[in-house]
């Protein structure tokens, strides 16, 4: 069978199964079995498919995923993250758009502790948005920062999705985690200054309200008590990677230990809270491992059928400029993000993109950061952006999807600006990985 017919059959069947409502993991399993029968000689191919699936989920590089998820769940279910946001609230009293700024600062801090975009958006949406709307904040400046900063959790370590992407793409996970930090901080800074500028120009967007006068001591003590120790967890994870003291898996284990110690020190760690955190971690981890198993075998079948090699040869023979091909890949991913979830996009695109990235000579870590940023943007793109619906569920009754999309749009433009900046200056992403002690 010609490679283009093989590619059409595999991708077509996958899209049909997804459109039918079948879960992503099972859609991949179905296509993999079909591909094994057609391209790998029937029963021997199916046996090889099963062996590859088992080998894939046994990879040591996947261990950070459940550990990073556990960190976020412990923070969420013990209420430690909520204490940190309350402490930061005391620090900012009279800046324009105070609660929107708090959402950006709190969301960025929680991103560095949880790695879960959904948990980030749900927590901020349920705690801060009602307070904003009650004080007269317009949806245009109340909703956008929460959704936008929720996506930052995909970039700042610990990011389970970054580990998943790195594992599927065979990119060094430690370098990918570090490379995402500076772009994420640039994004947060842009959001911060945008809110201040917009609220300064139009104060009616975020009406000022009386703030309790507190002493300098009462303002700073909660910050050092409830925020600084949590930032220490972030530095445990990142610092152990940079110094070469720990692998990503070992640093994730250290992060879990530091999180449990912090929760216990705040007397917030209970058996019930820990049980809920473990149950949620098991649910997300099982789903992720099923998806990884399906993805790795799908990549092998694409390669065995000749589809990967044929598509790469076709694109490279077109004699297009490397950056044009790169922009095409990123644009296609962004388009896919309007209709399917991030995990599905990773599994669909990585097996086809990575051979091209290698042939074009692009740095795989830099490409990984670009892809993560595109995936972050696609989380909030209509009609099916995941965070749009998470916010719709967390927002007060009466909030419409149209209001959420309109509020998020300026923040999407800022994310695209950062994407263009990374395309122009790759060293922004590659500087931190270069510091790793080997």
Residue 186: pLDDT band with limits 50, 70, 90: very high
Q: What is the DSSP letter of 22?
A: -
The model's pLDDT over 49-75, given as tens digits with 9 standing for 90+, comes to 677 777 766 666 677 878 877 887 787
Structure tokens at 192: 């911060």
- What pLDDT score does 295 carry? 66
Nearest-CA neighbor of 411 among 118, 90, 191? 191
d(CA 183, CA 117): 16
Identify the H or E element spanning 398. Answer: none
Residue-level pLDDT at 73: 79
pLDDT of residue 88: 80
Mean pLDDT across the stretch 333-343?
A: 73
Q: What is the pLDDT of residue 326?
A: 92
Handedness of CA 313, 317, 319, 320 (dihedral sign): negative
- From residue 279, how far is each of 74, 282, 378 by CA, in Å? 11, 5, 28
For the cut 90, the answer to whether the pLDDT of residue 183 exceeds it is yes
For the ranges 272-281, 333-342, 410-419, the maximum mean pLDDT occurs at 410-419
Mean pLDDT across the stretch 332-337? 79
**Which tens digit of pLDDT belongs to each residue from 29-42?**
788 888 888 877 76
| pLDDT at 210 (0 to 100) | 67
Chain-centre distance of CA 63, in angstroms?
Answer: 17
**164-168 average pLDDT score:** 83
d(CA 431, CA 418): 16
Structure tokens at 175: 């370098």
Question: How far is Cα 1 from Cα 28, in angstroms, rounded to an integer?
Answer: 21
Measured distance CA(362)–CA(354) in Å, rounded: 10
Q: What number is the average pLDDT over the span 182-191?
A: 93
Name the residue with higher pLDDT: 414 or 395. Answer: 414
pLDDT, residue 436, reads 80
**pLDDT at 397 exceeding the cut of 80:** no
* DSSP 3-state of 432: coil
Highest mean pLDDT among 66-70, 219-223, 321-325, 399-403: 321-325
Q: How confident is the model at residue 400 (pLDDT cuts 50, 70, 90)?
A: confident
Q: Which of 101, 105, 116, 194 is nearest to 150 (CA)?
A: 116
pLDDT score of 416 more than 90:
yes
Count, residues in the chain: 438
Q: Region 146-167: what's the mean pLDDT?
A: 82
Cβ atoms of residues 223 and 88 within 8 Å: yes
- Mean pLDDT across 404-416: 90
The mean pLDDT value of the chain amounts to: 81
Token couple for 423: 């395309």
Sign of the C-alpha dihedral, residues 190, 193, 194, 195?
positive
Domain carrying residue 212: 3-435
The CA dihedral of 135, 138, 140, 142, to the nearest 10 degrees, is 10
pTM, two decimals, is 0.78
Averaged over 367-386, what is the pLDDT? 83
Residue 276 makes CB contacts below 8 A (sequence gap 6+) with 73, 77
Whether 421 has a pLDDT exceeding 90, the answer reads yes
Write the DSSP assignment of 318-386 as a string of letters.
Answer: TT--HHHHHHHHHHHHHHHTTTS-HHHHHHHHHHHHHHHHHHHT--HHHHHHHHHHHHHHHTT-TTT-H
Which of the four pLDDT bands, split at 50, 70 and 90, describes residue 301?
confident
Dihedral sign of CA atoms 111, 116, 119, 122 in order: positive
- Percent pLDDT > 70 in the chain is 90
pLDDT band at residue 98 using 50, 70 and 90 as cut-offs: confident
Percent of the chain with pLDDT over 90: 16
Query: Does 116 score more than 70 pLDDT?
Result: no
User: Is the per-residue pLDDT at 225 higher than 90?
Assistant: no
Direct distance between the N- and C-terminal alpha carbons of the chain, in angstroms, rounded to an integer: 46
Over the range 283-302, which residues count as b (16 or more CB within 10 Å of their CB) and which as e?
ebbeebbbbbbbbbbbbbbb
98 or 62: which carries more pLDDT confidence? Answer: 98
Q: How far apart are CA 156 and CA 144, in angstroms?
A: 19
pLDDT above 80: residue 118: no
Of 122, 86, 133, nearest to 106 by C-alpha is: 86
Q: Count up the domains in the chain and report the number.
A: 1
**What gap in Å lies between CA 41 and CA 175, rounded to an integer?**
39
Residue 215: strand, helix, or coil: coil
* CA nearest to 328, candidates 303, 309, 311, 341: 311
Task: Name the more confident of 9 and 72.
Answer: 9
pLDDT at residue 24 in the model: 67
As given in the structure block, the two tokens for residue 257 are: 């230990």
Inter-helix orientation angle 64-78/271-305, to 10°: 150
Give the per-residue pLDDT at 370.
94
Residues in CB range of 130: below 8 A, 6 or more apart: 396
Closest C-alpha among 278, 303, 237 to residue 35 = 303
- Please tell me the predicted confidence (pLDDT) of residue 61: 67
pLDDT (mean) for 86-114: 79
Task: Dump pLDDT digits (tens) for 242-287.
Answer: 888 888 888 888 988 998 998 898 888 888 888 888 888 888 777 7
At 45 the pLDDT is 66
pLDDT of residue 190: 94
């Amino acid at each position: 069978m010609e490679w283009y017919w093989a590619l059409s059959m595999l991708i077509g069947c996958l899209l049909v199964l997804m459109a039918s409502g079948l879960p992503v993991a099972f859609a991949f399993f179905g296509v993999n079995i079909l591909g094994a029968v057609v391209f790998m000689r029937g029963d021997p191919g199916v046996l090889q498919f099963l062996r590859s699936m088992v080998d894939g989920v046994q990879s040591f590089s996947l261990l950070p995923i459940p550990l990073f998820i556990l960190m976020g769940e412990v923070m969420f279910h013990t209420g430690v993250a909520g204490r940190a946001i309350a402490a930061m609230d005391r620090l900012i009293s009279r800046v324009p758009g105070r609660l929107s700024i708090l959402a950006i600062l709190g969301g960025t801090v929680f991103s560095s502790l949880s790695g879960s975009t959904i948990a980030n958006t749900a927590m901020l949406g349920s705690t801060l948005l009602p307070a904003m709307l009650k004080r007269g904040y317009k949806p245009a400046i109340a909703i956008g920062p929460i959704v936008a900063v929720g996506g930052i959790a995909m970039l700042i370590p610990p990011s389970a999705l970054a580990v998943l992407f790195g594992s599927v793409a065979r990119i060094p996970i430690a370098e990918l985690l570090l490379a995402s930090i500076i772009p994420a901080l640039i994004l947060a800074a842009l959001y911060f200054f945008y809110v201040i500028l917009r609220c300064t120009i139009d104060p009616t967007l975020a009406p000022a309200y009386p703030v309790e006068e507190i002493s300098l001591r009462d303002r700073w003590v909660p910050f050092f008590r409830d925020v600084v120790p949590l930032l220490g967890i972030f530095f445990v994870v990142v610092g152990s990677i940079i110094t070469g003291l720990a692998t990503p898996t070992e640093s994730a284990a250290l992060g879990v230990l530091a999180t449990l110690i912090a929760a216990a020190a705040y007397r917030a760690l209970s058996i019930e809270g820990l049980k809920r955190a473990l149950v949620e971690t098991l649910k997300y981890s099982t789903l992720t491992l099923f998806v990884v198993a399906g993805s790795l075998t799908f990549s092998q079948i694409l390669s065995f059928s000749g589809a990967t090699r044929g598509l790469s040869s076709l694109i490279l023979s077109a004699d297009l400029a490397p950056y044009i091909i790169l922009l095409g890949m990123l644009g296609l991913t962004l388009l896919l993000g309007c209709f399917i979830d991030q995990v599905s996009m990773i599994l669909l695109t990585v097996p086809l993109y990575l051979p091209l990235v290698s042939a074009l000579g692009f740095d795989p870590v830099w490409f990984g950061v670009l892809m993560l940023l595109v995936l972050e943007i696609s989380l909030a793109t209509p009609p099916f952006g995941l965070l749009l619906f998470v916010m719709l569920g967390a927002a007060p009754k009466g909030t419409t999807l149209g209001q959420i999309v309109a509020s998020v749009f300026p923040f999407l433009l800022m994310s695209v600006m950062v994407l263009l900046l990374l395309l122009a200056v790759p060293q922004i992403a590659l500087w931190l990985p270069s510091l790793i002690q080997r």
